[in-house]
Copies of this chain bind each other. A is one copy, B any other.
Amino acid sequence: MTDIKRFDTDHRMSQAVVHGNTVYLAGQCGTAHAPIQTQTREALSKIDHHLATVGTDKAQLLSVTIWLSSIADYDAVNAVWDAWVAPGTAPARSCGEVQIGGEGYNIEIICTAALS
A residues at B contact (CB < 8 Å): 1-2, 4, 6, 9-17, 19-22, 24-27, 60, 62-65, 67, 71, 74, 78, 81-82, 85, 87-102, 108, 110, 112, 114-116
Contacts and interface: CB of A to CB of B under 8 A. Distances in A.
Given A96-B98, A99-B96, A88 B19 contact: no
Given A27-B95, A67-B96, A97-B100, 15 more contacts: A2-B116, A4-B62, A9-B88, A9-B89, A10-B90, A12-B78, A13-B64, A13-B90, A17-B91, A17-B92, A20-B20, A67-B94, A74-B101, A97-B98, A98-B98
Assembly stoichiometry (copies)? 3
Contact of A81 (B12, B21, B64, B91): B12
